[in-house]
Amino acid sequence: MERAAALDRVEALLDTIETEPMPVPVREVWLYGDAALGLDPVERLDIYLTKDILLESDDEAAERFEREYGVKGVGSTVRAEWAEQFPDSLRASENGYAAPEKCLGAHLTDTDEPIHLEVCNASFGDNVTQRLRGALDREAYEQVLDPRGACLWEDGERDAETLEKLRAGDLAFPTLSEALGMLGADEADARVAAEAVNERRAEQTGVTVRGDVV
């Protein structure tokens, strides 16, 4: 999509998070990848959400939603009040429990949009570091998370200044391999990881969602 339209879509997503109930509390929203780098057109929107883990439990809601929808964990893994209002966005993991990242993806996006959502309980910076260490240790370079991002929303507050800078193309970032090198990867690993990340991104179509716990 054209860059202006891509950033309009990001702002619409922020509007949804601000005005509608979410399956779990959202603490941070980051934009990374092509749209953060100033590319035009934008092949895919890469968006990172930091979510909180629910601590409450609603046994009555859990029983009812499991009986009516075949999904476990409503009221403990996702909010019961959200599921009541948006049952069509309720999604389960392979074990049959409500999956917060899939529910967020269903609520915030349409299936044919070129959007990738990364959903994690950790902040963007912490997860970038953890993922890089794990990927280098296992040589699973495709698991690296692109560290070149901009925080657009945190604890209920939208960063209007950063959004303006994104629209003006005023944010400057290094290449992906250089950014990974700044985080501690040696030159060879950084180059291989950058290639793996770009290849994975090129293979993605429509909406994709990845959930992570750190």
pTM of the prediction? 0.93
Ramachandran bin of 96, using left for φ above 0, alpha for ψ from -120 to 50, beta for the remaining angles? left
8-state DSSP, 146: P
- Please tell me the distance from the alpha carbon of residue 46 to that of residue 155, in angstroms, as a whole number: 20
Going from the first residue of the chain to its last (214 residues), give the mean pLDDT of each consecutive group of 10, the final group possibly shorter.
Answer: 94 97 97 91 95 86 92 94 95 94 97 94 94 93 94 94 92 93 93 93 91 83
Instruction: Show me where the domains of the chain are located.
Output: 3-47+100-212
Cβ neighbours for 118, distance < 8 A, ≥ 6 positions apart: 46, 47, 48, 49, 127, 145, 210, 212
Burial class (CB in 10 A: 0-12, 13-18, 19+), 201: middle
User: What are the backbone dihedrals phi and psi of residue 209, each rounded to the nearest 5 degrees, phi first?
Assistant: -135, 135
pLDDT of residue 174: 93
